[in-house]
Amino acid sequence: MKDLVILGSTGSIGVQALEIVEANPLLFRVVAITSAGNNPALIIEQAKKFKVPVIGVTKGADLIKSALPGSIVIDGPSASAEIAAITCDVVLNGITGSIGLAPTLAALKVGNRLALANKESLVAGGDLVMSIAKPDQLLPVDSEHSALWQCLMGGAKREVAKLVLTASGGPFREREDLSDITVIEALNHPTWSMGPVVTINSATLVNKGLEIIEAHYLFDMPYSQIESVIHPQSVVHSMVQYVDGSTIAQASPPNMKGPISFAINFPERVKGATTPIDWTSAHTWRFDPVDHEKFPAIELARRCGDLGGGLPAIFNAANEICVAAFIDGKISFTSIIETVEAVVQSLGSKSAGALRDLADVSAIENDARQVAQEHISKVAH
């Protein structure tokens, strides 16, 4: 039985992970969970249901303590990092945003195996994370990276020609004019059920740009050998093309239980973790090239990753501010990437050199957020 820590237990990844635990009580024991405190009723319910002894929240601790008198409650902005350092078999980082970097580093430093769904950890602090991660300590949870990980088991690294990440294309892949897109439209993803930030990132294809940077770090692959392709059905999660011209793809229904279960129970698979593809029915899978003119986010992310230094962190932090501004109705959909690019251009000269520690990452992110806010104030409705 594996002792499991779940960071972000009330989010989409955390909820699905607990469903896997519930279905496999002999495989996992949840020893700690964390939440931002936005849904205290749910984390209290989770703690009771799974008899979790340690709970971490960034706010609302008094309510948690009164509802769970026998539990240890850790509160404050560093709660997730403290809980990530609890000795266990696996830490699942399902936190959204660059606030997930500190707990990622905390888990790795104490030697815990880390199942990583927080892509921003590698985007904002990839050099820091990879400098301390040991072999087989950092396991990908994003469906695309889980797919690449599984496909890469089919050959040696020297035999890999390219990594191909699939993208659903979001709700606007066939829409010509993106200028009048509403928040409701952008949050209506045709395939996946995700939180608002990830859903908007999928609509702009920022998500795929972040995933290309993440793949670069996870698999030590140059950006020139990482591509993306539109696959609306989201059944083929990614592919690896080998030097002999063969391509190995990983396919499964579009849900996260397969990738989550594979990471938290590695090296063994969890039987029945997700429903398999029904091969008795007809299927049509489509693949299209990315329209980089309509969706410039991927190439912008690739440029930031190639130049390195603090640029990926700037790209990510600026995007977080712009997505929030779009959801709040302050800027248009197309202004998201336009503003992110303006911030990247503005701060490019300040981003040279490696980020040495968490303080460096925080400083460059704060600069990016401030500049993004300044740009938003100029174009706000």
The DSSP result for 29-45, as a single string, is: EEEEEEE-SS-HHHHHH
Longest Cα pair distance anywhere in the chain, in angstroms?
62
pTM of the model: 0.92
Q: What is the CATH number of the domain that holds 380?
A: 1.10.1740.10
Q: Give tens-digit pLDDT for 240-262.
A: 999 999 999 999 998 899 999 99
Q: Judge whether 8 lies within some domain.
A: yes
Work out the mean pLDDT of the chain and round it to a whole number.
93
Q: Judge whether 184 lies within some domain.
A: no
- Cβ-count burial 102-124 (b if 16+ within 10 Å, e if not): bbbbbbbeeebbbbbbbbbbbbb
Q: What is the CATH number of the domain that holds 10?
A: 3.40.50.720
Range of the domain at 329: 308-381
Q: How far is CA 349 from CA 314, 345, 376, in A?
A: 12, 8, 21
From edge to edge, which strands make up the β-sheet containing 247-251? 226-230, 160-167, 236-242, 247-251
Please report the pLDDT score of residue 192 as a whole number.
64
Domain's final residue, options 109, 140, 171? 140
Domain's final residue, options 111, 140, 169? 140
Q: Judge whether 379 lies within some domain.
A: yes
> What is the distance in angstroms between the CA of the first residue and the CA of the last residue of the chain?
54
Please report the pLDDT score of residue 250 as a whole number.
97
For residue 351, pLDDT over 80 is answered with no
Q: Judge whether 354 lies within some domain.
A: yes
- The pLDDT of 118-131, averaged and rounded, is 93
Q: Tell me how many domains the chain contains.
A: 2
Residue 85 CA to residue 103 CA, distance in Å, equals 8
Q: Give tens-digit pLDDT for 171-230.
A: 888 888 888 898 998 988 776 666 788 889 999 999 999 999 999 999 999 999 999 999
Please report the pLDDT score of residue 2 as a whole number.
97
Is residue 136 within 8 A of residue 114, CB to CB? The reply is no
31: phi then psi, degrees, rounded to nearest 5: -100, -15
Domain's final residue, options 94, 122, 140? 140
For residue 352, pLDDT over 70 is answered with no
Q: Judge whether 285 lies within some domain.
A: no
